[in-house]
Homo-oligomer: A and B are copies of this chain.
């Protein structure tokens, strides 16, 4: 059985850490403790001490303590902890990372965890798990366990919660997943619920043809995760069906995946089909906020917290230019497919954001900005029409040379 790495601040949490370690040993899991505490020495010996962690972060412990800024000291220790953890991983010494803590401990523990690939077991027992966890979880599969009470002393609550966290890790380490998809060509697709009918058609067809399909939900974190994995995995083709995160990045919507969205696959040379799916709307907060921020538009209130705001016609032209630029700079095969009948379920004859002129303006701007028209395909269908899906499948077949 491999080791689990327990990332800890032994100056403040040694009692709770020793209990967690005892639980893991109960399940037969050997533990390496990494101490990144800044305030004081660990009361017991650890596998990787804080001096070593500080040095891996580029400073001595005395330098770290002299920084006079808790946030900056923590940053050095996180960077050091990541380096130590990755060294152990490369040497084959650890098969999981577990941690426990409040706001500082969670920043430290999840900072280390986010440096590991998807599938590698990660458990964070935290007081910070019942709130916005985006900065902690990011684009990774971190198991966040809410501690309910403070992780401060041992009692009937921390006893159960720490034990459960340890055993969740033990279970994952005892039964690692088998790789079921070796050898199948891998295809990535991006979507939202409003382009789901198209995805289902394409996915079913590809899977029946022996492809492996991974679908990403373009709500910000989804697009970011997709771009990260495009770098890591050997992806045969990308169907970027929901470029909507670009809309939100440019016009200040909530589903923003950063400035690199859309460029990673093209820069790596992954064969890519771009579709302006869901670019007909900007996602923002409650309806009243939406009306203030984007006045005089069509709106669709998805629920109390989320409103879809119709993209204006001049904004559609801006988006067309962005897509053209992406396409013009690609290092691999690339094509743009435009569904002239509407870009999402909202942008359809029955939908709340329908505007039949917008696709025309979008297509005209795209045509003008594209270096080569051969990559442009204007199809007289709605994005969720089966005929549109059929055209995408045909194009993917060409790109991947099979099916």
Residues of chain A touching chain B, judged by Cβ–Cβ distance below 8 Å, are 23, 26-27, 71, 102, 118-119, 121, 123, 127, 129-134, 137-150, 152-161, 163-165, 167-172, 174-175, 177, 179-181, 186, 191, 199, 203, 207, 212-217, 221-222, 225-226, 229, 233, 303
Contacts and interface: CB of A to CB of B under 8 A. Distances in A.
A84 to B, nearest CB: 24
16 contacts: A27-B174, A118-B161, A123-B168, A127-B222, A129-B137, A132-B133, A143-B164, A144-B144, A149-B222, A150-B191, A150-B222, A155-B181, A155-B212, A156-B181, A159-B177, A168-B172
A211 B102 CA distance: 24
A174 B157 CA distance: 19
A205 B146 CA distance: 27
A145 B145 CA distance: 9
A24 to B, nearest CB: 10
Nearest to A303: B71
A165 B215 CA distance: 19
A141 B145 CA distance: 6
Contacts of A160: 118-119, 141, 177
Given A130-B134, A133-B133, A186-B156, A174 B167 contact: yes
B129 A133 contact: yes
Nearest to A161: B141
A141 B127 CA distance: 10
A149 B215 contact: yes
A286 to B, nearest CB: 14
Contacts of A137: 129-130, 146
A23 to B, nearest CB: 8
A39 to B, nearest CB: 13
A139 B130 contact: yes
Contact of A180 (B159, B165, B212, B213): B159
Contacts of A225: 148-149
A119 B216 CA distance: 33
B140 A146 contact: yes
B150 A215 contact: yes
A141 B133 contact: no
A160 B153 CA distance: 34
A180 to B, nearest CB: 5
Contact of A141 (B121, B140, B141, B148): B148
